[in-house]
Structure 1
Amino acid sequence: MKTAKLSNVYLIAVFIILYAPIFYLIFYSFNSGGAMRDFEGFTLEWYQEVFADTRLLIIVLNTFVIALLSSAISVIFGIAGALAIHYVRRRQPKNALLSLNNVLIVSPDVIIGASFLILFTIIGIKLGFVSVLLSHIAFSVPIVVIMVLPKLQEMSPTLIDAARDLGASSWHVLTRVIIPFIKPGIFAGFFMALTYSLDDFAVTFFVTGNGFSTLSVEIYSRARQGIALSINALSTLIFLFTILLVIGYYFINQRNNRTSTRSEGRG
C-alpha cells in the first residue's frame, strides 16, 4: 500500500513538472499586460492577432497540408514495408530490416535534417514544399511500420489460407482480409505520423527554403525576436489541437475494440 502511494505521488510530480510550463504559457496568453509577468487582466487580443495575421494563417495551412499528405503517403509505404518485413521467413534478414526501419526513429533529428539537406542539395531538389514533404514522409514511414507490424503478428495465417481456398486473389486477400484486420494499427500509425509531422522542428528547420515555413519553424523564428504573447496564443491553439487528435484517436480505437469484441462474440 505504501509503495502504491509513493508511486502515485511520483506520477503526480512528473505530470506537474511536464505540464506546469504549458499551463503557464496558456495562462499568460490571456494577459492584457503584454508580458509573461504581472497578469493585468483577461483579454483575447493575442488570439485575435493570430487570426488576423494572413501570413501566419498561410503557414498554418502549409503545416496541415504537409502533415496530412505525409501521413497519408506514409501509411501506404508503411503498410507495404510492414508486410514485407512480416513475410520475410529467415530470422536474420527480418531483424536486419527491422533495425534499418528503426534507424530513423532512434537517430537524432539534427543528423537526419542535415542528411536530407545534403541529399537535396546534391540531387538538385529546391528547398521548400517538396523537400519538407519528402523529409516528413521519410521519418513517418518507420512509425507506421512499427504500429502496423504488431497487428500483422496477431493475425492468424488461417484467415489468409481460408480466403485463398475460397478463391480470393492476392489483391482481395490484401484489401478484404489483411487491411480490415490491421485497421487499428493503420489508424494508430496515421495519427502518430500526423502528430510527429505537426510537431517536428529540427528536420523541418534544415529542409525549409525561403518563402515556405511551418508552424514549428515560425514559432522558433518569432521567439528569437523577443517575447510576444501572440506566440503563447498560437502555441495554446496547437496544444489544444494536439489534445483533440489524441481524444479522436482514443475514441476511434475504442470503437474498433468494440467492433472486434462484437465480431468475436458472434463468432
Structure 2
Amino acid sequence: MNKSKSGASIYLAVIFVILYAPIFYLVYYSFNSGGSMHGYEGFTLQYYGEVFQDARLLIIVLNTVIIALLSSAISTVLGVLGALAIRRVRSRRARNSLLSMNNVLIVSPDVIIGASFLILFTMAGIKLGFTSVLLSHIAFSVPIVVLMVLPKLQEMSPSLLDAARDLGANGWQVLTRVVVPFIKPGIFAGFFMALTYSLDDFAVTFFVTGNGFSTLSVEIYSRARQGISLSINALSTLIFLFTVLVVLGYYWLNRRSSKRLGMGVPK
C-alpha cells in the first residue's frame, strides 16, 4: 500500500514538473539582463518596465480584461438559466440530448469553432472586432457554466422547493432565496472557469479578431513570430500570476461558502 502511494506521488511529481518546468523557465529568463534565453547574466526588471510603458499593450490588456469579465458575467447568467431549463425537462431522453448538444462546444476543436464563428459573423454582416470576440467568448463559455451548475442542481432535494412553496413563496422567491443560494458554489465555479477560458483563449479569438482590436493571446502570438523578446516573457509571467490569483480566489470563495453551509449560517 505504501509502495503504491509513493509510486503515485512520484508519478504526480513528474507530471507537475513536466507541466510547470517550461513556465518557470520562461519566468526565470524574464529577469535576465542578457536579453536572451540562453545564458543568465544578471537580474533586471527592464522588460517589465517595457511592458508597462507600452501604451498599445496596456490597451490590449484592458480589452482582454473587459472581454473576459463581460463574457463571463453574461455567460454565467445564461448558463444558470440553461442549467435550470435542462433540470426542469422531465423526459430523460430530451435531457440527455440537450446535455449532448451542450457538450459539443466543449469537446469540439477550437479551430472548427473559430472558423464557424468567422463564417457566421461574415454572413450576418457583423464587423470583426470587440462585438465578434465578445459573442464568441460568450458562446463557448455558456456550456462550461452549465456543466458547473448542473451538479449542484442535482444535489438539491425537491423537498426544499416544496417546503418553500408550502411557506407561501412564489416562483421568484423560490429561485432567489432557495435555488440560487444553494447552487452558489456552482455559479462561482462557472464564472471563474469562464473567466479563465476567456483570458487564455487563442484559437477562437484568432479567427474572430479584426483590424484595430486584439487580445493578449493574439498579441503574444504576433510578437513571438517576430523573434524572441524577453518582454514576451515578462508579459506571460504577469498573465500567469494573474491566472493563479483568479484560481486561488475561486478556491477561497468556494471554501468560504462550504464552511458557511457546514456551519448552517443563514445567507
Partner secondary structure for residue 211 of structure 2? coil
Q: Please give the alpha-carbon distance, in whole angstroms, between the structure 1 residues aligned to 2:111 and 2:254.
A: 33
Encode CA deviations 1:65-88: one digit per residue, 9 max, x unaligned: 000000000011001100011111
Deviation at 1:251, TM superposition (A): 0.8
Q: Please give the alpha-carbon distance, in whole angstroms, between the structure 1 residues aligned to 2:196 and 2:172.
A: 31
- Look up the equivalent residue of 1:11 and give its one-letter code: L
Match of 1:136 in 2: 137
Q: How does 1:149-228 map to 2 (within 5 A)?
A: 149-228=150-229
- Look up the equivalent residue of 2:122 and give its one-letter code: T
Encode CA deviations 1:121-156: one digit per residue, 9 max, x unaligned: 001000000000000000000000000000000111
Q: Please give the alpha-carbon distance, in whole angstroms, between the structure 2 residues aligned to 1:25 and 1:98.
A: 39
Q: Please give the alpha-carbon distance, in whole angstroms, between the structure 1 residues aligned to 2:39 and 2:99.
A: 52
Match of 1:260 in 2: 261
Encode CA deviations 1:38-87: one digit per residue, 9 max, x unaligned: 11100000000000000000000000000000000001100110001111
Match of 2:230 in 1: 229
Q: After TM superposition, where is structure 1 displaced by more than 4 Å over at least 4 residues in a row? A: none
- For these two proteins, the number of residue pairs brought into alignment is 265
Is 1:146 equivalent to 2:158 in the alignment? Answer: no
Partner secondary structure for residue 182 of structure 1? helix
Q: Please give the alpha-carbon distance, in whole angstroms, between the structure 2 residues aligned to 1:215 and 1:250.
A: 25
Partner secondary structure for residue 264 of structure 2? helix
Match of 1:116 in 2: 117
Encode CA deviations 1:201-260: one digit per residue, 9 max, x unaligned: 000000000000000000000000000000000000000001101111111011001001
Deviation at 1:161, TM superposition (A): 0.8
Q: Please give the alpha-carbon distance, in whole angstroms, between the structure 2 residues aligned to 1:23 and 1:51.
A: 21
Percent identity over the alignment is 75
Partner secondary structure for residue 154 of structure 2? helix
Alignment RMSD: 0.9
Encode CA deviations 1:183-212: one digit per residue, 9 max, x unaligned: 000000000000000000000000000000
Is 1:238 equivalent to 2:239 in the alignment? Answer: yes
Deviates further, 101-110 or 161-170: 161-170
Deviates further, 138-147 or 160-169: 160-169
Deviates further, 205-214 or 154-163: 154-163
Match of 2:12 in 1: 11
Task: Name stretches of at least 5 consecutive residues in structure 1 with no aligned partner.
Answer: none
- Look up the equivalent residue of 2:169 and give its one-letter code: A
TM-score, normalization by structure 1: 0.98
Q: Please give the alpha-carbon distance, in whole angstroms, between the structure 2 residues aligned to 1:14 and 1:168.
A: 51
Deviation at 1:24, TM superposition (A): 0.3
Q: Please give the alpha-carbon distance, in whole angstroms, between the structure 2 residues aligned to 1:258 and 1:8.
A: 29
Q: Please give the alpha-carbon distance, in whole angstroms, between the structure 1 residues aligned to 2:163 and 2:7.
A: 52
Q: Please give the alpha-carbon distance, in whole angstroms, between the structure 1 residues aligned to 2:35 and 2:169.
A: 66
Q: Please give the alpha-carbon distance, in whole angstroms, between the structure 1 residues aligned to 2:207 and 2:108.
A: 15
Q: Please give the alpha-carbon distance, in whole angstroms, between the structure 1 residues aligned to 2:105 and 2:186.
A: 19
- Look up the equivalent residue of 1:200 and give its one-letter code: D
Task: Name stretches of at least 5 consecutive residues in structure 2 with no aligned partner.
Answer: none
- Look up the equivalent residue of 1:219 and give its one-letter code: I
